[in-house]
Amino acid sequence: MLKVMAVFGTRPEAIKMAPLIKELEKYRGEIECRVTVTAQHREMLDQVLELFGIEPAHDLNIMRQGQNLFDITGRTLYGLRRVLETELPDLVLVHGDTTTTFVAALASFYLQIPVGHVEAGLRTFNKHSPFPEEINRHLTGVLADLNFAPTARARENLLSEGVKSASVFVTGNTVIDALLAVVRPGYRFADPVLNQIDYDNSRVILVTTHRRENLGGPMREIYRALREVTEACPCAEVVFPVHKNPAVRSVVEEELGGLKKVHLIEPMDYQPFVNLVGRSYLVLSDSGGIQEEAPSLGKPVLVLRDTTERPEAVEAGTVKLVGTARNAVAGETMKLLSDQKHYEKMAAAVNPYGDGRAAQRIVRAIRFWSGLSPEKPADFLPAKKHR
Ligand code: UD1
């Protein structure tokens, strides 16, 4: 029996690991899948565990209000030592670029446990942006024994850094597996505010912000741009699920609180959120995952960052990096609202990130690596652009 332990801690990791855990569970006879959550996020994580019916074997419950990187790193490292020494899995699976990800890879390495890195090889090549994620992902790549690169570009990045090609599998991104499982036509929201919005006649702008490098001044600029857009364009309506971080909340409240055309709501559960992406006109976000989800749903995304580790959708034309300066954010948003041709060009649905079978390929790769199967999975190849 191959014992595999998935370790994650934040909401996006949980969303992207869920399809993989479900796929591993199909091989009960030969693979034992255990889940450990650090709970770097609490409420936001628990929603996803419940949606996908995942019951962790271990919960380190590390989150504290106002936690910093030292807190997360220290609590995770010591918490995982205990779990991994008791469980001694044959393989630890981590996802992406959070501090949970890097520390879980480090703890596994200290105990000489092989590590599989899901969503490996994304790079901005800027150590400070996103901070600390770029370095978290890089260091996890150095420690990993198996690298599941979502795209050919991510694979190239790893190979150029000297990662052995036999350890790299191009799988597509599991975010698309998750998306296909939860987006439904005619989906009804539980929140009445979201059902009352006239999606056909107004232009709904969905906004999210949480990145550490945007806290403070850059976020204030973004919110002022939003205020300008709603004042200038009568049809624009903003829906903004506000991240739980108090440092985000205070500035949002100061700049956007009480505005009629701006709906400030609690962070949404995953299923309503991606269904809302599907109903919105466009998305403004500093998140990574939304840059992968929205293009699949044919929605333009303006990325509120100066760098992205996801250039594929930028090249395909559905995602544009606009940074955080007020004029740029307001200008690009208004251009999308007023120039139909420009909008339609960006709204062409593309799927550079996956076909819904990434989890299958990852499990095949694990079975191949461990000797359970002689068959190496074929690489994921993106389909051509379509309307
Ligand atoms: C973390 C990840 C980031 C990922 C993001 C997704 C790191 C360094 N950052 O950033 O890569 O994109 O998660 O959201 O690993 N909070 C709650 N309840 C929750 C979640 C958060 O109250 O359910 C509050 C806490 O006060 C916490 C703060 O939000 O202190 C920030 O959370 P933290 O995990 O430290 O950083 P994120 O900005 O969420």
- Please report how many Cα atoms fall inside a 13 Å half-sphere around the Cα of residue 343, on the Cβ side: 14
Residue pLDDT, tens place only, 111-161: 999 999 999 999 999 999 999 999 999 999 999 999 999 999 999 999 999
Q: To test ligand 1's pocket by mutation, which of 17, 40, 41 has the most ligand atoms within 8 angstroms of CB?
A: 41
pTM summary value:
0.94
Residue pLDDT, tens place only, 7-38: 999 999 999 999 999 999 999 999 999 999 99
In this prediction, the residues of the chain whose per-residue pLDDT falls under 70 are 384-387
Active site annotation includes 119:
yes
User: In angstroms, rounded to a whole number, what is the distance separating the alpha carbons of residues 31 and 130?
Assistant: 35
pLDDT of 386: 47
Active site annotation includes 306:
no
Q: Which of helix, strand or coil describes residue 12? A: helix
Q: By C-alpha distance, which of 387, 310, 304 is closest to 347?
A: 387
pLDDT of 242: 97
User: In angstroms, rounded to a whole number, what is the distance separating the alpha carbons of residues 289 and 118?
Assistant: 14
Tokens of 201: 């006649």
Q: To test ligand 1's pocket by mutation, which of 42, 48, 175, 244 has the most ligand atoms within 8 angstroms of CB?
A: 244
In the block, which residue shows the tokens 């624009």?
A: 236
Whether 245 lines ligand 1, by a CB cut-off of 6 Å, is: yes
* Nearest Cα residue to atom 22 of ligand 1: 244
Active site annotation includes 95:
no
Whether 201 lines ligand 1, by a CB cut-off of 6 Å, is: no
Q: By C-alpha distance, which of 125, 127, 133 is closest to 153?
A: 125
Determine which one of 42, 210, 220, 342 is catalytic.
210
Work out the number of other CB atoms within 10 angstroms of the CB of residue 279.
17
